[in-house]
Amino acid sequence: MITTIIVFIIVFGIIVISHEFGHYYMAKKSGIMVREFSVGMGPKLVYYRKNNTTFTLRLLPLGGYVRMAGDADEDDEIKPGTPVSVQIGSDNKITSINTSNKHQLFNGIPVTVVKADLVDKLFIDGYENGDESELKHYVVDHDATIVENDGTEVQIAPRDVQFQSAKLPNRMLTNVAGVFNNFILAIIVYTILAFVQGGVAMTNNQVTVLPSNSVARDAGIKSGDKILSVDGTKTPDWNTLAMELQAKPDKKINVKVDRNSQQKTFTFKTKSQKSNGKKVGLIGISQGIDRSFTGKLFGGVTTTLSTAKTLLAALWSMVTGHFSLNDLGGPVAIFATTSQATKFGVDGVLRFLAFLSLNLAIINLIPIPGLDGGKLLLNIIEAIRKKPVSEQTETVITLIGFGFLMLLMILVTWNDISRYFLH
């Protein structure tokens, strides 16, 4: 259990950091201020500030986020009557504003705010030290910081460095940069795996017959054979072949193979096993292995493309066919799968890391508000309309999408608990 927890945190941490770093890097390149880069969710444990960004480690290792200036859910407005303390720099401009009771500014001047603007005009009007006989006007430095209620110090968000102030192409690239990084991470890990394993699985329809418990071997199929079709359905690659076989548990099938340019047909019954709560067919074969240096070097790309094709096909079948919660998995399912992956050592963990990174990339591209794909869709609508969707409309759409995702997450999590621990 301890090993599983450690591996889960490491794997999830690598994927989250890779994804969020994509957003962070592209935002910085686009002139968008990144106020916070958080690993984890919930209460903060520690934070560190560098280059106008606060890097935060939070308690729950279930995700992370990059908080950019101008995010729709941000509220930096300091309401009239709010007591704050401010720090004044050598040029008589405010360099830091403290709104938290948990954090004290060194040499902070107590001020009761009457009016403030931290976006456009950058000022605070208020009463110093409770003296209401004189209203003081303070100019706020463009690069000033604000200490929020939970004690986290972040940069203020002037208009010129906000997300919406960046050019549309830069905003689109920023929105998809996390997905791009997850694809790159999958390629790198699959390439490492190819060298660790001494080869890479071929994506064509050439198979290796397992030495035991193989109905394919018993029927006469041999390693090196290429399976051309299953029950008349052509199987030009491993993904198509695997899906055809998995869809036929405990069924009699006709398999046509190519052996040394000669075609043969075999008829036999598949076996079955449980996978994610449902029966899948299998015949005791595995993918052929390419052990050449070139095969290993480019194995990360070929495996990533092949796996992505399988995931997209599965996603499409969920949309067009019978949808089941068993087709989805949340943190509980990921934890359970981590436990299985650790049993296969480094190979299993690397394979799981690459698959999960690729899975996250594809899911994030779905055009649902709240996901990167939903944000990209709004960007495309803006490009077509020649003007952005109103802030109010975008907020409503995002809240609806977020609500849908939360409801789906609750249902998936409960289904995972029932599937893995109650049955």
Q: Tell me what pLDDT residue 249 has.
A: 93
Q: Are the C-beta atoms of 45 and 58 separated by less than 8 Å?
A: yes
Structure tokens at 19: 């994804």
Provide the pLDDT for residue 212: 85
Dist. CA 78–CA 115, nearest whole Å? 8
Dist. CA 42–CA 21, nearest whole Å: 19
Q: Quick check: 242 and 207 in contact, CB under 8 A?
A: no
By CB atoms closer than 10 A (0-12, 13-18, 19+), residue 26 is: buried
d(Cα 254, Cα 215) in Å, to the nearest integer?
13
Give the torsion through C-alpha atoms of 59, 65, 69, 72, to 10 deg: -100
Q: How far apart are CA 154 and CA 97, in angstroms?
A: 10
Phi-psi region of 42 (alpha: psi -120 to 50; beta: other; left: phi over 0): left
pLDDT of residue 149: 84
Say which residue the tokens 């919930």 belong to: 42
pLDDT string in tens for the chain (423-residue length): 788 888 988 998 999 999 999 999 999 999 999 999 999 988 889 999 998 999 999 998 878 999 999 876 666 789 999 999 999 998 999 999 999 877 666 678 999 999 999 999 999 999 998 889 999 999 999 999 999 888 889 999 999 999 999 999 999 999 999 999 999 999 999 999 999 988 888 878 899 999 888 999 999 999 999 999 999 999 998 888 998 999 999 999 999 999 999 999 999 999 998 876 788 999 999 988 888 899 888 989 988 988 888 788 777 777 776 666 666 666 667 777 778 888 888 889 999 999 999 989 998 998 888 789 999 999 999 999 988 888 788 778 878 877 877 787 777 677 767 766 665
pTM here? 0.79
Tell me which residues are annotated as active site: 20
Taken in order 394, 372, 77, 150, the sign of the CA dihedral is: positive
The β-bridge relationship of strands 207-209 and 200-201 is: unpaired
Task: Please name each of the domains of the chain with its CATH number.
Answer: 83-156 (no CATH), 184-324 (2.30.42.10)
Contact status, residue 162 vs residue 32, Cβ threshold 8 Å = yes
Question: What does the pLDDT read at residue 390?
Answer: 81
